[in-house]
A = this chain, B = another copy of it.
Amino acid sequence: MLAQIHVTFKEGVLDPQGKTVHHALNDLGYDEVLDVNIGKYLEIKLDSASEEEAEIRVREMCERLLANTVIESFRFTLVPTE
C-alpha cells in the first residue's frame, strides 16, 4: 500500500516560503502568478493488513507526527501496490 499525503497550511496562516517564491516568479516575468502556497508531499510505503487499518494508522501518523494540526491540515489517499 502507498499513502500519498499532502500537508498544507490552514487558511490565514502566513506562508513566507510561498510569498518568497511568488515574488521570485513575478520578478522572473511570470506576471500571471497571483498566489503561491507551498506544502509538503509525503509518500509512505506501508505493509498494512487492510486498507481499513491503513486508513486509521495513517490518519494517526499525520495527527501525531506529520502535520502540526494547529496550523496545518492534511489529506491523504491510499493506493494499492503490486
Residues of A whose CB lies within 8 Å of any CB of B are 6-8, 18, 21, 24-25, 28, 30, 32-48, 54, 57, 61, 64-66
Contacts and interface: CB of A to CB of B under 8 A. Distances in A.
Nearest to A49: B32
Contact of A36 (B33, B39, B43, B64): B43
Nearest to A53: B32
Given A24-B65, A57-B30, A65-B25, A40 B43 contact: no
B25 A36 contact: no
Nearest to A18: B42
Contact of A37 (B25, B42, B46): B42
Contacts of A66: 21
